[in-house]
């Protein structure tokens, strides 16, 4: 009876190891595209773990599509045996944590397949409006409306693909980037505010579009173009055609560089690993903490830790290693018990590197704080004299309305918001769980929350000190907003930092012209 129970436990783990985002890849070639499509889509696996899908198009055989559940396995395992069925010179693929994709449509625009990386905040509103127009919704994911089908229905309302996609831009509140596999190449359309990226690559006889240009080098593609916000392009095997010019304004998600992105990827020509290194270097140069070594919480903290070591001139040591053969990248599972198990199993501390040392570790962010508290406990039990933590971004204080940042149901799942509630109600002895339960009836005014989000304000300092106390850290510092903006190298108005400071340079409703 033990084995079935363990099986269910690990199935649940894989079900919860999700980023709640997604990534896509599409290619058009003069030759068969299945291999490039298969591996290019697989290179999006760090962006999601729930569902994978691919569609190819052949003039002789039409569209072939397959969608598989990835909750208990990997993309390659699910699709490798089926690969010979993907016949054609063009195709699109996706790994998604939101809905079953690609979707197939037959409309007055022609036949096409669609994949999206989207967050549709007004999903029900759009669905009700479409139903009132006598349209119907046939696809449901876990009993819910399929956002990609909804977006496809908005597209087919246009007189052509461009007008249809512009209808999506006008209607969707949130974000939406997409690839359309048509009978005449692939259409790539980036979110109107550029919150999520699309990168174009080219090699002899083929073009490709992807969320992550990490997919390009091993497939022989060279990055040739970064699609602009709201821009629409058509790819054929011999080149790219612009169908809609980019918008002037952009709000690309800063968390792409901090956490989401693979180290070898670039967005807006800014490399992920470069940004992480520069963030760490800036903190290391200005930190006065006395420590013996610098380490990382793998994997996304590694680039920052190497930069911190360079800036502080303190040696980098691998005090914690991630056991990669069987543990995939995880992101905020919603079940506390499983979250603790994941944290305990996949990260293995090295006692020889820790014992008697004053250790500083770098990580991308603190969300709930549960995993970090467990890590700190283990590090000290193994002999670390001190444990200091440096975080690549400012404190996460606001929920993200623009991309599928997490599975969190409430802002009170953020350790910052629980601490703010605690400090504001003067109940500092309450446990973290009790905070989440008892603070529901206490409303913290927006201006008070803003005070905690202001770097080095008295409220900010009190919040950081309390988080450090609860996590049993000897010191805790977060990167400043100015540091990450400088590291990314874009203007502040081009980067979305809503989750840190509550601001969005543009509102959801404002039209981007």
DSSP 60-101: TTEEEEEEEE-TTS-HHHHHTTTGGG--SSEEEEEEESSS--
- At the fourth CATH level, the homologous superfamily of domain 14-250 is Aminohydrolase, N-terminal nucleophile (Ntn) domain (3.60.20.10)
Which residues of the chain are under the pLDDT cut of 70?
A: 1-20, 139-142, 325-344, 405-409, 426-442, 504-513
- H or E element in which residue 353 lies: helix 351-354
What pLDDT score does 372 carry? 87
Q: What is the DSSP letter of 232?
A: E
What distance, in Å, lies between the first and last C-alpha atoms of the chain? 62
Going from N- to C-terminal start, the domains of the chain cover 14-250, 270-501
Bridge pairing between strands 475-478 and 386-391: parallel
Q: Which residues contact 450 (CB under 8 A, 6 or more apart)?
A: 502
Name which CATH class applies to 270-501. alpha beta
What pLDDT score does 141 carry? 56
Q: If we measure between CA atoms, which residue out of 465, 498, 512, 445 comes closest to residue 169?
A: 512
What pLDDT score does 10 carry? 35
Query: Model's pTM, two decimal places?
Result: 0.89
In this structure, what token pair is assigned to residue 58? Answer: 């052949």
Q: If we measure between CA atoms, which residue out of 155, 156, 159 comes closest to residue 178?
A: 155
Give the 3-state secondary structure of residue 340.
Answer: helix
The residues facing 141 across adjacent strands are 144
Q: How far apart are CA 336 and CA 401, in angstroms?
A: 24
Going 307 to 308 to 311 to 317, the CA torsion angle's sign is negative
The dihedral region occupied by 110, where left means phi > 0, alpha psi between -120 and 50, and beta the remainder, is: left
In this structure, what token pair is assigned to residue 4? Answer: 């079935």
CA distances from 152 to 103, 156, 158, 294, 370 (A): 8, 6, 11, 49, 39
Q: If we measure between CA atoms, which residue out of 458, 453, 423, 451 comes closest to residue 439?
A: 423
In this structure, what token pair is assigned to residue 377? Answer: 């406990």
Strand ranges inside 383-504, DSSP E: 386-391, 475-478, 495-496
On the 0-12 / 13-18 / 19+ scale of CB atoms within 10 A, 122 is middle
What pLDDT score does 426 carry? 63
What pLDDT score does 13 carry? 34
**Exposure b/e, 48-81, CB count within 10 A at least 16 = b:** bbbbbbbbbbbeeeebbbbbbebbeebbeebbee
Q: If we measure between CA atoms, which residue out of 347, 343, 277 comes closest to residue 316?
A: 277
CB 190 within 8 A of CB 197: yes
How far is Cα of residue 470 from the mean position of the Cα atoms in its chain?
27
Q: If we measure between CA atoms, which residue out of 70, 126, 78, 65 comes closest to residue 98?
A: 70
What pLDDT score does 161 carry? 98
CA distances from 508 to 171, 193, 512 (A): 10, 10, 10
> Could you check whether 14-250 and 270-501 share the same CATH topology?
no
- Residue 409: other Cβ atoms inside 10 A: 9
In this structure, what token pair is assigned to residue 378? Answer: 């283990």
């Amino acid at each position: 009876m033990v084995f079935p129970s363990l099986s269910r436990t690990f199935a649940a783990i894989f079900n919860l190891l999700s980023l709640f985002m997604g990534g896509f890849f599409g290619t058009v070639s003069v030759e068969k595209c299945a291999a490039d499509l298969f591996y290019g889509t697989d290179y999006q696996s760090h962006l999601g773990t729930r569902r994978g899908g691919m569609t190819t198009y052949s003039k002789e055989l039409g569209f072939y599509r397959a969608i598989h559940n990835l909750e208990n396995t990997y993309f390659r395992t699910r699709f490798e045996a089926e690969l010979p069925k993907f016949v054609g010179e063009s195709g699109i693929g996706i790994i998604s944590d939101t809905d079953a994709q690609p979707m197939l449509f037959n409309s007055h625009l022609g036949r096409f397949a669609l994949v999206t990386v989207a967050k549709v905040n007004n999903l029900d509103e759009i669905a009700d409006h479409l139903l009132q127009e006598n349209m119907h919704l046939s696809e449901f994911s876990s009993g819910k409306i399929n956002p990609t089908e909804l977006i496809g229905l908005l597209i087919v309302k246009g007189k052509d693909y461009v007008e249809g996609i512009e209808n999506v831009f006008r209607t969707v509140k949130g974000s939406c980037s997409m690839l359309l596999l048509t009978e005449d190449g692939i259409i790539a359309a980036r979110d109107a505010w550029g919150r999520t990226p699309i990168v174009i690559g080219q090699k002899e006889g083929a073009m490709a579009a992807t969320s992550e240009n990490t997919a390009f080098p091993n497939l022989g593609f060279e990055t040739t173009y970064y699609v602009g916000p709201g821009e629409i392009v058509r790819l054929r095997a011999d080149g790219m055609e612009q169908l809609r010019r980019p918008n002037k304004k952009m709000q690309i998600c800063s968390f792409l560089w901090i956490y989401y992105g693979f180290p070898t990827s670039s967005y807006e020509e800014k490399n992920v690993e470069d940004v992480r290194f520069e963030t760490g270097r800036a903190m290391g140069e200005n930190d006065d903490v006395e420590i013996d070594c610098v380490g990382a919480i793998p994997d996304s903290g590694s680039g920052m830790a190497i930069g911190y070591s360079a800036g502080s001139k303190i040696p980098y040591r691998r005090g914690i290693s991630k056991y990669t053969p069987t543990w995939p990248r995880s992101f905020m599972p919603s079940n506390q018990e499983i979250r603790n198990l994941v944290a305990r199993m996949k990260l293995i501390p090295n006692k020889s590197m820790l014992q008697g040392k004053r250790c500083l570790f770098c990580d991308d962010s603190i969300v709930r704080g549960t995993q970090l508290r467990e890590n700190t406990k283990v590090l000290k039990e193994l002999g670390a004299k001190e444990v200091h933590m440096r975080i690549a971004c400012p404190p996460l204080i606001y929920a993200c309305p623009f991309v599928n940042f997490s599975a969190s149901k409430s802002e009170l799942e953020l350790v910052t918001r629980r601490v703010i509630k605690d400090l504001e109600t003067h109940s500092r002895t309450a446990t973290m769980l009790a905070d989440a339960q008892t603070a529901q009836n206490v409303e913290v005014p927006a201006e008070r929350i803003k005070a905690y989000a202001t770097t080095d304000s008295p409220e900010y300092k009190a919040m950081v000190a309390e988080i450090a106390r609860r996590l049993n850290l000897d010191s805790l510092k977060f990167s400043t907003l100015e540091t990450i903006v400088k590291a990314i190298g874009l203007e502040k108005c081009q980067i979305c930092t809503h989750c840190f400071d509550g601001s969005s340079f543009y509102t959801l409703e404002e039209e981007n012209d």
